[in-house]
Chains A and B, each alone.
Chain A
Amino acid sequence: MDTLVAQLQRQFRDYTISLYHQGFLDDQFTELKKLQDECSPDFVAEVVSLFFEDCEKLIGNMARALDQTGNVDFNLVGSSVHQLKGSSSSVGAKRVKGLCVTFKECCDSQNFEGCVRCLQQVDIEYKSLKAKLQDLFSLEQQIVQAGGRIPQVDI
């Protein structure tokens, strides 16, 4: 008979694996988890939260810059993309980082339509990741509340 904890742990494991396999996360996320310990039990959630705030801020900057019709400062957009690429790389947000590479190319070649498209995609992608990680953290909380331990998942 499968206990609640066992079911939740299995869900957690399966969901984690799917996030890696579908390319949402890469091994830098695994590295982040290594930094979580009793001294900072919410480290991953905190960093990830900072990341999503950063996404929102940078996307806002880029949207405003791209809105200056006829007078778009591509350097400004490019430097925001550079920041976002760095942050996404550091937290293991693989898809966001990948989009930043394309986005940077559009900035460098001053491709306005390309930039607008990339911006839309980055916006969708970070929000999608945010929702998925919220689900993942929620599963963790449920496991702990049910008296279980969060399993170590080897990808």
Chain B
Amino acid sequence: MNSGSCSSLMEVGYDHHHHGHEELHVLAVDDNLIDRKLVEKLLKISSCKVTTAENAIRALEYLGLGDQNQHIDALTNNNLKVNLIITDYCMPGMTGFELLKKVKQESSNLKEVPVVIMSSENIPTRINKCLASGAQMFMQKPLKLSDVEKLKCHLMKCRS
């Protein structure tokens, strides 16, 4: 296990469903178009495969938890398998916090998927609430390249 470098994902055997795929597949959820574009680029530059969703409902649908009761197990279907969810906190309709809770309440393997919450506001009670509900990390917007690098290191450490 390579504990130093953040760039080599092949050496991390953290997900036994990984099927040898090298890239982290991230589902990024944000209602703001500019922020979506930014987080997508940040993740792609960090060698992640990215799927974006403009709200929590769309995100849940993608994860197979939509109202249509699609019985797609998102973790074994290689195309959909999501290794990380990163979501904005403040979104109209369902918030990122509510999305976090829905994921963590799942009985399937989906509840093991790390969820990172982003917010432009630095409110300690909000941060603590998210972490207490199972968020992997809380990240302050606007995101920088160094934030994503830290995130990847953190994720890899959690699995080694």
The B80-100 residues at the A interface (CB cut-off 8 A) are 90, 92
B113-146 to A contact mask, C-beta < 8 Å, 1/0 = 0000000100000000000000000000111110
Size of the chain B interface, CB-CB below 8 angstroms: 17
A interface secondary structure, majority: helix
B14-45 to A contact mask, C-beta < 8 Å, 1/0 = 00000000000000000011110110011001
Q: Is A90 at the interface (CB under 8 A from chain B)? A: yes
Q: Is A125 at the interface (CB under 8 A from chain B)? A: no
Instruction: Say whether B141 contacts A47, CB under 8 Å.
Output: no
Instruction: Say whether B33 contacts A43, CB under 8 Å.
Output: no
With contacts A31-B142, A85-B120 known, is A51 near B41, CB below 8 A?
no
Partner of A34, one of B35, B92, B142, B145: B145
Q: Is A86 at the interface (CB under 8 A from chain B)? A: yes
Instruction: Say whether A40 contacts B35, CB under 8 Å.
Output: no
> What chain A residues lie within 8 Å of B145 (beta carbons)?
31, 34-35
Q: How long is the Cα–Cα vector from A31 to B92 in the complex, in angstroms?
A: 27
Beta-carbon nearest neighbor of A83 in chain B: B32
With contacts A28-B142, A31-B144, A31-B145 known, is A86 near B41, CB below 8 A?
no
The A13-59 residues at the B interface (CB cut-off 8 A) are 28, 31-32, 34-35, 37, 40, 43, 46-47, 50-51, 54
Give the size category of A's interface with B. 20 to 34
Instruction: Say whether B90 contacts A47, CB under 8 Å.
Output: no
Instruction: Say whether B34 contacts A47, CB under 8 Å.
Output: yes
Instruction: Say whether A87 contacts B32, CB under 8 Å.
Output: yes
> What chain A residues lie within 8 Å of B143 (beta carbons)?
90
Beta-carbon nearest neighbor of A40 in chain B: B41
The B38-69 residues at the A interface (CB cut-off 8 A) are 38, 41-42, 45
Partner of A90, one of B45, B92, B141: B141
Instruction: Say whether A86 contacts B32, CB under 8 Å.
Output: yes
What are 16 A-B interface contacts by the 8 Å CB criterion?
A28-B144, A31-B144, A35-B41, A35-B45, A35-B145, A40-B41, A46-B37, A47-B37, A50-B34, A86-B35, A87-B35, A89-B120, A89-B141, A90-B141, A90-B142, A92-B142
Which B residues are closer than 8 A to A by beta carbons? 32-35, 37-38, 41-42, 45, 90, 92, 120, 141-145
Which A residues are closer than 8 A to B by beta carbons? 28, 31-32, 34-35, 37, 40, 43, 46-47, 50-51, 54, 79, 82-83, 85-87, 89-92
Closest 9 CB pairs of A and B: A90-B142, A87-B34, A31-B144, A35-B41, A28-B142, A89-B142, A86-B32, A90-B34, A34-B145
